[in-house]
Structure formats: C-alpha cells, structure tokens
C-alpha cells in the first residue's frame, strides 16, 4: 500500500482481485489479464474496481492478536506495469494512517466494499482481539 499524505490518498496494491467485488451473485466488473511487476509476473489480473464507495481496509497480526482497520473511499484505479496489476486508489485520512500504520498488520491488506468498522469491532471483541483504528 502506498500513502500520499499531501493528497490524502492511498494506493491499495493487489496482484489478484475479485471480478465481483461486491460478492455473491452481483455482476462482474471489467478486467483484463496482464503482466505485473514489470513483466516478471506473466499472468495477473487488472480489475477495474468500483469507485465512489466506502471501503474498509483490514490487517491482522496473529502474534499480537491485533486487527488493524481504516476506512476510506474508493476514488479511482491505476493501471501501470509497476508492482501489482490491480491498484485501487482511495481517499481518506492519510496523515493519521501514515502515523498509526502498524507494519506487522501486513503489507497486503484486505479491502472490502462498505464501512464495516463497527462489525469488525464486534468480531474482534468476540475473539478477544485488540483493534487499532489507523485513521482515527
């Protein structure tokens, strides 16, 4: 994940992404099969993910029993040969996330569509996990 504090943006990198990001029997979104990582990954998928929607980004550190969460808004997609093929651009409190980023929460975080902060807090409580809200 890349963070641009000045613009208040994130780039969420994924080598593979679902073609139906809303899950279930929802319609698929456009995608292409392409190379990634400057051509070293010969078959990857660039998915044009939906924009103008809230997204929740989740990381997990099992050793610390810590769930990391931040919420942003999907605002665009980037297509370039550098790094992963699918790059979703989000907008949110990048300064707080940069300062609160927990590296052991994982580099490739899970992105889900919707604001699931409260549900994840309840989930963590049931499992006895600590929660770090990186954006607050």
pLDDT in tens, 55-71: 999 999 999 999 999 99
pLDDT score at 108: 73
pTM greater than 0.85? yes
Residue 15 scores a pLDDT above 80 = no
As a whole number, mean pLDDT of residues 12-28 equals 87
pLDDT value of residue 38: 76
The Cα 109–Cα 117 span in angstroms is 15
Question: Residue 132: what pLDDT?
Answer: 96
Residue 44: which pLDDT band, with cuts at 50, 70 and 90?
confident
More confident residue, 104 or 39: 104
Give the chain's mean pLDDT. 91
């Amino acid at each position: 994940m890349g963070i641009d504090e000045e613009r208040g943006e994130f780039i969420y990198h994924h080598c593979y992404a679902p073609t139906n990001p809303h899950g279930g029997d929802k319609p698929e979104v456009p995608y292409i099969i392409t190379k990634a990582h400057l051509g070293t990954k010969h078959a990857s998928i660039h998915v044009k993910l939906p924009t103008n929607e809230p997204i929740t980004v989740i990381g997990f550190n099992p050793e610390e029993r810590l769930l990391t969460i931040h919420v942003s808004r999907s605002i665009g997609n980037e297509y370039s040969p550098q790094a992963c093929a699918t790059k979703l651009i989000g907008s949110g409190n990048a300064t707080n996330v940069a300062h609160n980023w927990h590296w052991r929460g994982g580099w490739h975080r899970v992105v889900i569509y919707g604001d699931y902060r409260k549900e994840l807090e309840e989930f963590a409580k049931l499992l006895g996990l600590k929660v770090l809200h990186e954006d607050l």
